[in-house]
Amino acid sequence: MSDGDAAFVEAFDRGVRLRVKAVPGASRDVIAGPLGDRLKIRVSAPPEGGRANEAIRRLLADAFAVSKADVTLESGPASREKTFAISGDPSHLSATARTFA
């Protein structure tokens, strides 16, 4: 899915992919909303040692009501621009993603 209302999400056969703009070292963990074709996510964890990636993974698992094991970092481990995959029902996950748009 990339229909304009949530350009940061793409459905595939086993779930969805989210294009994320990570902001580590923030005052709190929050999904801030769309920023262009990315979903801006602020986390308090620092970027060292993958801690920010893990914090984003936990935040996405909670937001999409899936287990942490269902959220994987596909690309951008050392970049602020990342892609996460979330496994599950693509229709349900896409609908959840649209709530952040």
Question: Mind listing the pLDDT tens digit for each residue in 1-30?
Answer: 344 468 999 999 999 999 999 999 999 999
- Residue with token string 């709530």: 99
Residue 1: what pLDDT?
37
Task: Report phi then psi at 8, rounded to 5.
Answer: -85, -5
Three-state DSSP state, 29: coil
The pTM of this model reads: 0.93
Cα separations in angstroms, 1 against 8, 62, 76: 9, 22, 21
Mean pLDDT computed over 59-75: 98
Walk me through the domains of the chain, giving residue ranges and CATH numbers.
Answer: 9-98 (3.30.1200.10)
CB-CB contact of 11 with 86 (8 Å): no
Beta strands in the chain (DSSP E): 9-12, 15-23, 30-35, 38-42, 71-75, 81-87
pLDDT, one tens digit per residue, over 26-66 is 999 999 999 999 999 999 999 999 999 999 999 999 999 99
